[in-house]
């Protein structure tokens, strides 16, 4: 069984480029288009925690290193 993951996205470090969203194989991420960070930019969030497999794709692709991936124990 694949690992379960959890992702933290630094709201102020995200520029809303969407790269993480389109590179997640499990469709776990989305851009929050109803709010902005202090720079006036949309930011990504974990919309579907249950399906995250901690593959690290999002963290690797993020140009601003705004994503931290955690692997859940068990």
Provide the binding-site residues for ligand SF4, judged by CB under 6 A.
Answer: 5, 7, 9, 14-20, 24, 26, 28-29, 44, 52-58, 61-62, 64, 66-67, 69
Torsion 53-6-26-59 (CA) sign: negative
Name which of 16 and 36 has its Cβ closer to ligand SF4.
16
Instruction: Give min distance, CB of 52 to ligand SF4, in A.
Output: 3
Instruction: Give min distance, CB of 26 to ligand SF4, in A.
Output: 4
Q: CA neighbours within 13 Å on the CB side: how many for 37?
A: 16
Give CA–CA dist 71/62, Å, rounded: 18
């Amino acid at each position: 069984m694949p690992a379960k993951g959890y992702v933290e996205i630094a709201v102020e470090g995200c520029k809303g480029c969407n790269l993480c969203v389109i590179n997640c194989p499990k469709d776990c991420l989305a851009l929050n288009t109803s709010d902005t960070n202090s720079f006036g930019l949309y930011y990504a969030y974990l919309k579907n925690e249950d399906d995250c497999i901690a593959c690290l794709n999002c963290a690797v692709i993020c140009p601003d290193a705004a994503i931290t991936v955690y692997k859940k124990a068990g």
